[in-house]
Structure 1
Amino acid sequence: MRSLRGNAVETERPVAQARRYDRRRVPWYVSIPVTFAVIVALFLAAGKFNWLPGLPNPFATRQVDRSQPAVLQSIENMSRYDAAAGNFQIVVDLDNEAKFMPSALLGSRTLYVAAGTVDSFVDLSKAGVTVSADRRTATIVLPHAQLAQAALDPKRSYVFAQQRGLFNRIGDFFSGNPGDQQKLNVLAAEKIQTAAGASGLTQRAEQNTGSMLKGLLGSLGFTLVTVSYK
């Protein structure tokens, strides 16, 4: 009886150890995502840091410009006089909120500093000119000054801060699109265009155009030059 009990005890010990070992093992549905996340983190870190100084980094990348040469599509004859230009800067605060989920999981907020210029011009092709017989007096009637489209400066425009939810970061990682840059540019250009309309830029353009024409015709011998807008 003692030998049987001893054998029973000896045979039960490996089984108990195996059960305890099985309880310690990480489930497969947890280990696979964790392993994938570790591999991705190591790959991204290897691209930024050279772990073996003196040896070439196998994860290093280089930028190669394979763009095609620019193609001229059309040429337009310009008859306008660019009389004034305004430099603008604006901070675009774009917040995409989810209706039924917290922002930590779904949503994004971006602070975008945009800089651009807006030109104000007068169309000289529509000018009406009246000259006296003695060529001493001239009357010029011009259309009112207009605003050109806002032009953003990419060298002075940048994303200042950005917050994204967990699902947004995962989607951007797999899609390779870290943000909607085009939407930010369009929104910034619209706001700069609106600001230019309220800045008095067209009035300054009309004043500069009148001064330019009076100086030009005065050098040609005209003693009285009148410039008006309608």
Structure 2
Amino acid sequence: MKWRIGVLVAVMVAVVALVAAFVVVPRFGTDTVDRSQPAVLQSLRDLSQFHAAAGEYQVVLDIEHDVRYVPDVLAGQRTLFVAAGSVNAYVEFGELGEGALEVSPDGKAVRVDLPKPVLDKPNLHQERCYVFAQERGLVDRLAAIVETRDQQPFYVAAEQKIADAARDSGLVARAEESTRKMLTGMLGGLGYEVRFSATD
């Protein structure tokens, strides 16, 4: 009977020793180093296109078609065409490479290789595009009675004018600034200091 009690005591001592080994030893004998990479690259790819800025534009086209050696009163026309549209500036995250985000060795900072914003094709607002005024020679006025003038060239010219205006208005720079703020807020919320690679 005594030997059974002795065995039971020995088992209990062994269990206590094992528990102490798992509880006490980690506190004094081990260090934990987390070298995990942030799961943000996939999140950025899921964003695909981030529309960072948009501009609204209006243009008045003054287009004149003359007939050589014929007085304007007989042939030719001059048209004032008003057009309005918008242009989006976006950043493409869907094609980010593996090196687009690099975590510092101490895990406290993230370097971001930010793609350059791209201007989308102008979106003309059809309800705000119209012929404001038109002067036509006699021949053109008679022709307008039996045929409808094609206004497509005016829309094509308006798209080009608005695209040029968007490129010259600093919309790309505004989109880049907006994207930097978005990424700084998102990655900063995960505890990282955000640094951006130098861009041209």
- On whether the aligned pair clears a TM of 0.5, the verdict is yes
Partner amino acid, structure 2, of 1:122 = V
Compute the displacement of 1:134 (Å).
4.7
Q: What value does the CA root-mean-square deviation take over the aligned residues?
A: 1.7
TM-fit CA distance, 1:226: 1.0
Question: Is the aligned partner of 1:95 residue 2:64?
Answer: yes
**In the alignment, which residue of structure 2 is the partner of 1:180?**
150
Amino acid at match of 1:205: A
Offset, 1:172: 2.0
Where in structure 2 are the equivalents of 1:12-161 lying within 5 Å?
79-127=48-96, 128-161=100-133
Q: Which residue of 2 aligns with 1:226?
A: 195
Cα shift at 1:189 = 0.7
TM-score by length of 1: 0.62
SS in 2 for 1:170: helix
* Shift in CA distance, 189/78, structure 1 to aligned 2, threshold 3 Å: farther
The CA deviation at 1:151 is 1.1
Q: What residue in structure 2 maps to residue 208 of structure 1?
A: 178
User: How far off is 1:132 after superposition?
Assistant: 3.0
Partner of 1:167: 139
Judge conservation of contact 1:122–1:143 (CA < 8 Å) in 2. Answer: yes
Shift of 1:158: 1.5
In the alignment, residue 191 of structure 1 is paired with which amino acid? K
**Deviation at 1:174?**
1.4
Counterpart residue number, 2:11: none
Instruction: Output the CA distance in 1 between the equivalents of 2:101 and 2:47.
Output: 19
SS in 2 for 1:212: helix
- Normalised by the length of structure 2, the TM-score is 0.71
Task: Indicate conservation of the 8 Å contact 1:126/1:142, yes or no.
Answer: no
Larger RCO: 1 or 2 (CA < 8 Å, sep 6+): 2
Is residue 64–residue 77 contact of structure 2 (8 Å, CA) maintained in 1? yes
d(CA) in 1 for partners of 2:84, 2:161: 11
Mapped to 1, the partners of 2:59 and 2:70 lie a distance apart of: 30
Does the 8 A contact of 1:83 with 1:206 survive in 2? yes
Secondary structure (helix, strand or coil) at the match of 2:61 reads strand
User: Which 5+ residue runs of structure 1 have no aligned equivalent?
Assistant: 1-76
For these two proteins, the number of residue pairs brought into alignment is 151
SS at match of 2:126: coil
Q: Separation in 2 of the partners of 1:125 and 1:139? A: 18
CA change 1:78–1:162 in 2 (3 A) is: farther
Q: Counterpart amino acid of 2:155? A: N
User: CA deviation digits over 1:63-105, x for unaligned, max 9?
Assistant: xxxxxxxxxxxxxx97221101111111100100111111111
Whether the 8 Å CA contact 1:85–1:118 is kept in 2: the answer is yes
